[in-house]
């Protein structure tokens, strides 16, 4: 067994938290030889409920669970953490405008960015799941001036996995037969799931499907999947979101496989003509805990228009929250 690492999870008493904590504690995220100390952050009124979750975590007697800290203080929650999964966010309520949502989340992700800046390990890996995930990640990053901006990422892995599942079903294959799937841009309905570079059992994905299915079925299904689940379940995706968060962190920590890549929301460096600084879904490879954008992909006009549309949405979201950035 290795020395334990510290993993913070915010919104730990919520529904994603309930699907996520037990898998992290069981070793699904960092491996069966990596003990974890969980740092769980909740708002004060949710602490009794969180205590119940802690009781259940202990009752599992996981070999890889080395301790649990449960708190309503971000300074305690982020102390010396190696990983931080920021799940807790303000959901959109009735009559709330997007602007109100961004403002409410600024009040969460600004202070959490500051607390990470003050207390987390200098190479902390931060994943923002709470919506609007990309712009919440930007707010946290912009309040953590002493951390490398690349420490902050947002989750588009659920979209990536949804795209794998849709393409596998259409082509009668398994998700593991598919390589080089890409989600460009925002975790929102403007995201662009791109299969131009994907292969299914080594064959170009685009040669196995027709353009009409791609345009009228695949893309909108992936873009609208979150809304479809809310409609069907009466609550937003939880187990699949938790599973995607595990995948995002596992690949970031352990690396991508040769000949394949994953999609991560990361700070744009201007690659592919995207506005520098916005947290944009890119295809990335990972080695030794560092991600790199896959370069040199051919982008046709169809893709260009969609990549630009989701970039535009992210630039607009950024313009709406710039007043929340640390001066």
Ligand X SMILES: O=C(O)C[C@H](O)C(=O)O
Binding site members for substrate: 92, 98, 131, 162
Which one of ligand X, ligand NAD, none is in contact with 229 (Cβ closer than 5 to 8 A by kind)?
Answer: ligand X
**Phi, psi angle pair for 232, to nearest 5°:** -75, -40
Sign of the torsion formed by the C-alpha atoms of 57, 60, 62 and 66: positive
The nearest distance, CB 281 to ligand X, in angstroms, is 13
Distance in angstroms (rounded) separating the CA atoms of residues 268 and 186:
12
- Binding residues for ligand NAD, rule CB under 6 A, total 27
Which residues are part of a known binding site for NAD(+)? 11-17, 105, 112, 129-131
8 A C-beta contact, residue 243 and residue 160: no
What residues numbered 14-73 form the site for ligand X, per CB under 6 A? none
Among 8, 158, 249, 293, which residue interacts with ligand X (rule: CB under 6 A)? Answer: 158
Long-range contacts of 89-98 (CB under 8 A, 24+ apart): 89/11, 89/129, 89/130, 89/131, 89/136, 91/131, 91/236, 92/131, 98/132, 98/320
Which one of ligand NAD, ligand X, none is in contact with 155 (Cβ closer than 5 to 8 A by kind)?
Answer: ligand NAD
User: Is residue 131 involved in binding ligand X (CB under 6 A)?
Assistant: yes
Among 70, 101, 116, 129, which residue interacts with ligand NAD (rule: CB under 6 A)? Answer: 129
Could you tell me how far CA 279 lies from the centroid of its own chain?
11
Distance in angstroms (rounded) separating the CA atoms of residues 260 and 112:
33
Q: Which two tokens stand for residue 218?
A: 């695949």
Judge whether 196 counts as a catalytic residue: no
Between 221 and 260, how does the x/- string for binding to ligand NAD read (CB under 6 A)? ---------------xxx--x-------------------
Closest-by-Cβ residue to ligand NAD is 14
Stretch that binds ligand X, among 45-53, 94-102, 234-242, 248-256 (CB under 6 A): 234-242
Q: Three-class SS of residue 90? A: coil
Which residues are part of a known binding site? 11-17, 92, 98, 105, 112, 129-131, 162
Among 155, 163, 181, 219, which residue interacts with ligand NAD (rule: CB under 6 A)? Answer: 155
Secondary element (H or E) of residue 303: helix 301-321
Stretch that binds ligand X, among 9-17, 49-57, 236-244, 250-258 (CB under 6 A): 236-244
User: Is residue 165 involved in binding ligand X (CB under 6 A)?
Assistant: no
**Phi, psi angle pair for 217, to nearest 5°:** -120, -65
User: Is residue 226 involved in binding ligand X (CB under 6 A)?
Assistant: yes
The nearest distance, CB 307 to ligand NAD, in angstroms, is 19
Q: Which two tokens stand for residue 251?
A: 């690949």
Rounded (5°) CA angle 237-144-67: 60
> What torsion, rounded to 10 degrees, do the Cα atoms 220, 226, 232, 237 define?
150
> Which entry of 187, 196, 248, 323 is annotated as an active-site residue?
187
The nearest distance, CB 162 to ligand X, in angstroms, is 8
DSSP E strand boundaries for the chain: 5-10, 36-41, 65-71, 83-86, 125-128, 152-154, 178-179, 182-184, 192-194, 199-200, 203-204, 262-267, 279-287, 290-293
**Angle between helices 225-233 and 157-171 in degrees, nearest 10:** 90
What residues numbered 296-325 form the site for ligand NAD, per CB under 6 A? none
User: Is residue 110 involved in binding ligand X (CB under 6 A)?
Assistant: no
Which residues make up the interface to ligand NAD (CB under 6 A)?
Answer: 10-11, 13-17, 41-43, 46, 87-89, 91, 108, 129-131, 133, 155, 158, 187, 236-238, 241
Q: Which residues are catalytic?
A: 187
Which residues make up the interface to ligand X (CB under 6 A)?
Answer: 131, 158, 226, 229, 236-237, 241
């Amino acid at each position: 067994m290795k020395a334990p690492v510290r993993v913070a999870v915010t919104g730990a008493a919520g529904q994603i938290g309930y699907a996520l904590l037990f898998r992290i504690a069981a070793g699904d995220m960092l491996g069966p030889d990596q003990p974890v100390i969980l740092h769980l952050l909740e708002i004060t009124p949710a602490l009794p409920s969180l205590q119940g979750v802690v009781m259940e975590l202990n009752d599992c007697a996981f070999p890889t669970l080395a301790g649990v800290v449960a708190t309503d203080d971000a300074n305690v929650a982020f102390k010396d953490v190696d990983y931080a999964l920021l799940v807790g966010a303000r959901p959109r309520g009735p009559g709330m405008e997007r602007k109100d949502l961004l403002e409410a989340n600024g009040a969460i992700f600004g202070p959490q960015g500051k607390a990470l800046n003050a207390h987390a390990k200098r190479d902390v890996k931060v994943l923002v799941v709470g919506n609007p995930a990309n712009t919440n990640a930007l707010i946290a990053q912009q309040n953590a001036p002493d951390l490398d901006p690349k420490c902050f990422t947002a989750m588009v892995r659920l979209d990536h996995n949804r795209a794998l599942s849709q393409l596998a079903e259409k082509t009668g294959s398994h998700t593991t037969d598919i390589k080089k799937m890409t989600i460009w841009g925002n975790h929102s309905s403007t995201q662009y799931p791109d299969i131009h570079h994907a292969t299914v059992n080594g064959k170009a994905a685009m040669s196995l499907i027709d353009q009409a299915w791609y345009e009228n079925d695949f893309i909108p299904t992936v873009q609208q999947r979150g809304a479809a689940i809310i409609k069907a379940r009466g609550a937003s995706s939880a187990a699949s979101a938790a599973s995607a968060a595990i995948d995002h962190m596992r690949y970031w920590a352990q690396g991508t496989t040769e000949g394949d890549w994953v999609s991560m929301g990361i700070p744009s460096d201007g690659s592919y003509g995207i506005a520098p600084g916005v947290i944009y879904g890119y295809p990335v490879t990972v080695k030794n805990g560092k991600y790199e954008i896959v370069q040199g992909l051919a982008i046709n006009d169809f893709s260009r228009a969609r990549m630009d549309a989701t970039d535009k949405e992210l630039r607009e979201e950024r313009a709406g929250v710039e007043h929340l950035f640390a001066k």
